[in-house]
Amino acid sequence: MNIPSCIILEIASIYASSIIYALASKLTEARRKLLSTLWIIATYIVALIFFYQAFSQYASSASKVVYFGAGIFTAVAVDSLSLFINFIILTAAFLMLIHVVQRIDLEKKESGDFVALAMSLIATSILVTVSNNFLIFLIMWEAATASVIGVLSYKTSEESGEALIKMIFMAVVSSIFMLVAVVLVYMAVASLARPSIEILNFDTVVNLISKVKGTGLALVLLSFALILAGLGIEIGLPPFYMWLPDVYTGSKPYAVPLMVLTLETAGAYAVARIIGVYSLLPVSLGVLTLPMIILIVFSILSILVGEASALAQRRLRRILGYSAVADAGYVVLLSLFFVASKTPPVGATASYALPLAYFIAVSNISLATAVALIGLVEEKGVYTLDEAKGLVKKAPLITMLTAISIMSVFGVPPLAGFVAKFFVISSVASTANTILVYVAVIAALLFVVSAAYGLRIIQYFCVYESPGTSFGKTDLKLVAPLILLVALLVLAGMYPNLFACFFT
């Protein structure tokens, strides 16, 4: 089988598994949990086999980008960046889904639909990573967004319902922005090549954008602003970010991690990919281009708002929600490298995206794992910092895992978060642009803020005393998948080259 066939079979196997699972007859609760867990593991193994075959062939191939065919089929392709994000979504999301299955009541009819929809969400998010075309990306993105909304709507309460309404509204605004942006790109480049859907391919647009002039240039600039705003809404960039902390806080703590490991991971990937497409825009304002100025403003604002707001919060999950806002800023900041160096992460130059891909993977795994673990102690009535005092004595294993995840978020060595934050500084500073060096210094200073609220959480967990008895023995079935994700954070921090094999 060739690479496209393997990727298609990987995605198709997950979709088929979700459909079969949804149609399966009900079993007793005990058997249902066991069989559901085994079914999810089997689905992951089958999908991973197909993925490994695709990756092995890609690693031995001389081509750095592999299309799914000719003509219109070049709108779908894989390269090192898309393969890496594919693997992260596949592995991390399935591990989280195994954890979720242990937490929900599978005897209820809607629970089976929830699990099936979650598997479908994973497959659809992987589809986003193989989109090599603005229009195809938009279609796949809307499908993934609809799936996430379905997952988050499971067992909604008044608080989660309000958060979901905000998310749906912002998703509609985002869709409008991105649709208009795609139309503007098409209008700008249509006169430079034969009008067809293929001219919206990322690698085609990269070359055509460098040739636009006059009205076409104005259209491309407007499309850049709109698509950054549209994707920015989805990943939580200011000023349209308030839905994200609300969803982190209000939705079920086992649904939020699935969103983070699928839609948010794919969204961060899309930001990097699409910003890179605009890297050859012929617009310069001294040592900076207009896109660079826009990116600097959005990234620093997002980091500042996210880190400062997290510092002021008391609700544990809300702190992590604002940390996600800050991480969105770091993703945009890392994307500055592509624009400053005029090196779009598409095809042959996708290997330059290693620092950004590493950051996306580590930050989202850290946040998702921390949210899932906090969800476990929320069942015991621990929601805020004050209620978390002395948590290490009540639930030592969960506290240790949560502490490692949070320390990875704010970058404590030797955890992967430290390497990820180092990549932020080194990538931006390596452009040799004096202004960007100052931007990197500002970002480094803001790391101190994230360390402040991170250490405060650890202080409440481990230093402060609080009356109360132990929560009892931790169910290993619940935390085993989370232990593996935490172990990955430790391993990737000690051996950063663990992920480099995707970018050779």
Q: How confident is the model at residue 122 (pLDDT cuts 50, 70, 90)?
A: very high
- The Cβ of residue 69 has, within 10 Å, a number of other Cβ atoms equal to 11
Tokens standing for residue 154: 């499971």
pLDDT single digits (tens) 306-347: 999 998 899 999 999 999 999 999 999 888 888 888 888 887
Closest CA to 437 of 446, 447, 427: 427
Q: How confident is the model at residue 57 (pLDDT cuts 50, 70, 90)?
A: very high
Contact 401, 483 (CB under 8 A): yes
pLDDT confidence of residue 193: 82
Q: What is the DSSP letter of 263?
A: I
Q: With 50 as the cut, is the pLDDT of residue 12 above it? A: yes
Tokens standing for residue 30: 């005990």
Mean pLDDT across the stretch 399-422? 89
pLDDT single digits (tens) 413-449: 888 988 888 888 888 888 777 888 888 888 888 888 8
Tokens standing for residue 349: 């130059």
Residue-wise DSSP of 340-370: HTT---SGGGGGGGHHHHHHHHHHHHHHHHH
CA distance 26 to 21: 10
Q: With 90 as the cut, is the pLDDT of residue 285 above it? A: no
Bridge partners of 67? 77
State which H helix or E strand residue 96 sits in: helix 80-103
Q: What percent of the chain has pLDDT over 90?
A: 51
Q: How confident is the model at residue 26 (pLDDT cuts 50, 70, 90)?
A: low
Tokens standing for residue 366: 């850290």
pTM of this structure: 0.94
- The Cβ of residue 217 has, within 10 Å, a number of other Cβ atoms equal to 16
Burial category of 209 from C-beta neighbours within 10 Å (exposed 0-12, middle 13-18, buried 19 and up): buried
- The Cβ of residue 82 has, within 10 Å, a number of other Cβ atoms equal to 28
State yes or no: cis peptide before 4, omega within 30 of 0.
no
